[in-house]
Amino acid sequence: MDTRTPSRRSRLSRLSLLAAGIVLTTTLHAQDTTHALNLPAQPLDQALNALAGQTDSRILFATDIAEGLSAPAVAGEMTLQQALERLLKGSNLTVQQTSDGSFVIAAPVASDAALDLGVITIQGQGMGETTENTGSYTPGLISVGSKSPTSLKGTPQSVSVITRQVIEDRQITDINEAMKAVPGITVQSNTFRIQDFYSRGFPIQNIQLDGAAPMALGTTAGSFYSSNIYDLAEFDHVEVLRGSSALFGGTGDPGGIINLVRKRPLDTYQLKFSASAGSWDNYRSELDVTGPLGFDGRLRGRMVVAYQDRQYFVDNRATDKPLVYGVLEADVSDDTMLTAGLRFNKVHETGTASQLPRYSNGADLGLPRHTGLSTTWAYADGFSREYFAKLDHRLNDDWKLNLSYTNIYDTIDTNNATTLGSVNPVTGVGVTRYGTYVTQWSEQNLWDANLSGDFSMFGLDHKLVVGADYQEIDSRWLGTGRFTTAGGAVNVFDPNSTPWDDPGARPVFSRNYSPNSQEQYGLYSNLRLQLAEPLHLILGARVQRYKFDQTYQVADATGMVWAQQSRVDMHEPTKVTPFGGIVYDLTDEWAAYASYAEIFKPQQNLLSGPASAGSPLDPMTGKTYETGIKGELFGGAVNTSIALYYTKREDQSVQDANYPATQVLFGGNCCYLNGGETISKGIDMEISGELLRDWMLMASYTLNLNKNRDTGSALSTVTPKHVAKLFTTYRLPGELEDFRVGGGVDIQSATYVSGSASTFDSLGAVVQANVPFEYRQGGYAIWNAMVDYRIDEHWNLTLNGNNLLDKKYYQTVGGATYGNYYGDPRNYMLTLRGTFW
């Protein structure tokens, strides 16, 4: 049976054999080789799958003989034979080794009995797309940056993964929290709910679902009014590639790309339940059920229901969000699998501001962290839905065709109540109310088709992926002017002394961005050549077209007569973005690599002069050079990497001094020139996995040096020069083995935002205006901890504590008038989890 082609599930025809036996395949090491294993208690078939993946071995068994059987936890250094004996202890199953090194698991049957093998599932090393039930802090295989399952060691770019075990151990519930745990990533609050992600000084603007077509991320950097914040109840794990990612990510900054890998149905029945309660009335529950639905296991399903009702440490802020996710997977033939699913979720936000102003001279107000300047009548009501379908067809043992489609629609209405202005340090006044009503929606249609496979040439094995993708985004934004009751003074030191009653009727819509649409479609290819036994050359390229269309209008006082303020309709000519990489296997465990990647980003909203005839600037371009060493240690139980990176971004816009500046918010702004070269360079170091028996670790350090060569100033002052992140867990030995303890720390150096401030005399009059100023947050460390108790084979209880030393700091630094967000004070979360098979 040839399993050279990695795929999540391959289906073979029904067979009849005189004996018992069958299913799972991977490749075997020497019989006496010991492996560092960490297998939690779980269904037997899942345990055998995990054992095959962790030992890179070949195990064969029939799915029905393992049905209803559980396997105990297995951990420590041992041979494959010893591990199998422990997993099968107490069952009537036997294990035999074949002449080719495979192991066959069988049930005793009469010698003349015939066994219908039914559906055969091929999994193991090369199929490690899911991390659920592995108990590991490191994945088997990844698909970000490659479109097909590839090891971290074989990927010539920096990639980090937040596995399902990390998600559960750290009580991570959404993408914002997940990105805070990713090595080298800086997370900045941009609104009361939307956060932006920065990598190596550049924003990350693209995201993939299951490695398919790129889509715009729901951040302000995306600018397509997507408001959904992805809940991780839908996903198995998160993959993040740092650096230029145009090959499969399309347009964007050279920050990187995020790949969210969805949960898929399992072949066996499983039910998981969790209930959490935490600080500031933070309550959450999840129910996750999966298993075969019929047709001898050829139809499988999964449904996840989650609900969170929480308040925050900030006054007048709360969130209520339900979610339903469902997916079906069907083997429509022996070689074809169809997957289809959907997700619905809503959100109701109470209060629409968590940010704080500063003194107008730039000094910190020193307000209590719970200070909230929004109101309980301010709200945001959002809805999001996702439909997706995927077809996997195996052409033969080596080649596979994949087709996928995703439709994502989200909308939100915001009745906004916040503040503007800074505080005069003498008079203590200057902050006023600000309120608007906004409605927005975004719809994305994403298509991807690719052919992937293996082929042999000159006695060596090679891989090829060729495909095409298409992204279509339509969005609209409608907003009112300021509420008539807005503008009143606010006492930021005692907000309750200056209350703001609900204004009731809101003004008519007066601003409209419609259409606001984008299309990009491209052809891509990725060829992985084995030049020699240890040497791999990866060549890739993307050919892409881009189109953007936006009209901005404003209305008169009646809201009936609209006048166009800005019109942008651009077509970017065909662009080719290359990729190249080389991987040299130093040993079975270590590899050295180097890579080169490009990306480009249209600057459609920035026009060249003159204003009357301006056209969009040429796109900004980025190039990333990277080299390093990666290790896959202890049979894949630990992954580690050290990388040196250098990114150059060119043609970033600069103001054209030959023309007066004009600005239309998010519209066609004038007048600009292409120019400017920025550099980002540094070191990425990471290690994740099981270092010793029962000791899990995820640790990283990132050094970033960035600079605008034209001005000599920093490219990104919100990106720390130094970032270190660590989280680790350990299962106690002996009589305390039911306890796991863990902890970690997130450390970063100082950051700042440049701006201007004013100085005042003793009477509060301005002495000097527009004085350059840096709004600074000093370096800090946030300490976290975890205690987990295994009640029995089905239940466990976990207590998480975050910011244990109660460090007071700004998670995001803004200007004098707004944009300053405190980090969470000390908080706790208690979670009860149940797993049933």
The string of pLDDT tens digits covering residues 327-368 is 999 999 999 999 999 999 999 999 999 999 999 988 999 999
Residue-wise pLDDT for 266-308, tens only, equals 989 999 999 999 999 999 999 999 999 999 999 999 999 999 9
pLDDT at position 98, please? 63
- Predicted confidence (pLDDT) at residue 256 exceeds the cutoff of 80: yes
Q: How confident is the model at residue 4 (pLDDT cuts 50, 70, 90)?
A: very low
Name which residue leads in pLDDT, 521 or 712: 521
In whole angstroms, give the CA distance from residue 34 to residue 162: 27
- Predicted confidence (pLDDT) at residue 531 exceeds the cutoff of 70: yes
Helix (H, G, I), strand (E, B) or coil at 458: coil
In whole angstroms, give the CA distance from residue 320 to residue 666: 30
Residue-wise pLDDT for 644-669, tens only, equals 999 999 998 888 888 887 777 777 78
In whole angstroms, give the CA distance from residue 251 to residue 559: 36
pLDDT at position 57, please? 77
- Kindly report which listed range (133-147, 339-353, 574-588) carries the lowest average pLDDT score: 133-147
Which sequence spans correspond to the domains of the chain? 16-116, 158-262, 270-836
Bridge partners of 526, per DSSP, are 465, 540
Percent of the chain topping pLDDT 90: 65
Percent of the chain topping pLDDT 70: 91
pLDDT at position 223, please? 56
CATH topology of domain 158-262: Ferric Hydroxamate Uptake Protein; Chain A, domain 1 (2.170.130)
Cis before residue 610, ω within 30 degrees of 0?
yes
In whole angstroms, give the CA distance from residue 629 to residue 632: 10
Please give the average per-residue pLDDT across 200-226, as a whole number. Answer: 80
pLDDT at position 348, please? 98
- Predicted confidence (pLDDT) at residue 8 exceeds the cutoff of 50: no
> Nearest Cα to 124, choosing from 259, 33, 28?
28
- Predicted confidence (pLDDT) at residue 532 exceeds the cutoff of 80: yes
Bridge partners of 598, per DSSP, are 623
Q: By the 8 A CB rule, do 162 and 261 touch?
A: no
pLDDT averaged over the chain? 88
Q: How confident is the model at residue 87 (pLDDT cuts 50, 70, 90)?
A: confident
pLDDT at position 218, please? 59
CATH topology of domain 270-836: Maltoporin; Chain A (2.40.170)
- Predicted confidence (pLDDT) at residue 17 exceeds the cutoff of 70: no
- Predicted confidence (pLDDT) at residue 22 exceeds the cutoff of 60: no
Residue-wise pLDDT for 813-833, tens only, equals 998 998 999 999 999 999 999
Please give the average per-residue pLDDT across 606-614, as a whole number. Answer: 79
- Predicted confidence (pLDDT) at residue 32 exceeds the cutoff of 60: no
pLDDT at position 5, please? 36
pLDDT at position 219, please? 52
In whole angstroms, give the CA distance from residue 365 to residue 766: 19
- Kindly report which listed range (84-98, 372-386, 443-457) carries the lowest average pLDDT score: 84-98
Q: Which residues of 558-593 are buried (b: 16+ CB within 10 A; e: fewer)?
A: eeeeeeeebebebebeebebebebbbbbeeebebeb
- Kindly report which listed range (33-42, 420-429, 551-560) carries the lowest average pLDDT score: 33-42
Name which residue leads in pLDDT, 663 or 566: 566
pLDDT at position 606, please? 83
Candidate ranges 20-29, 142-151, 157-166; pick with highest mean pLDDT: 157-166
Please give the CATH architecture assigned to the domain spanning 16-116. Answer: 3-Layer(bab) Sandwich (3.55)
Please give the average per-residue pLDDT across 455-481, as a whole number. Answer: 94
pLDDT at position 63, please? 64
Which amino acid does the sequence have at 169? D
pLDDT at position 539, please? 97
Residue-wise pLDDT for 489-514, tens only, equals 999 999 999 999 998 888 899 999 99
pLDDT at position 94, please? 79
HEC-encoded secondary structure of 47-77: HHHHHHHHHCCCEECCHHHHCCCEECCEEEE
In whole angstroms, give the CA distance from residue 231 to residue 174: 4
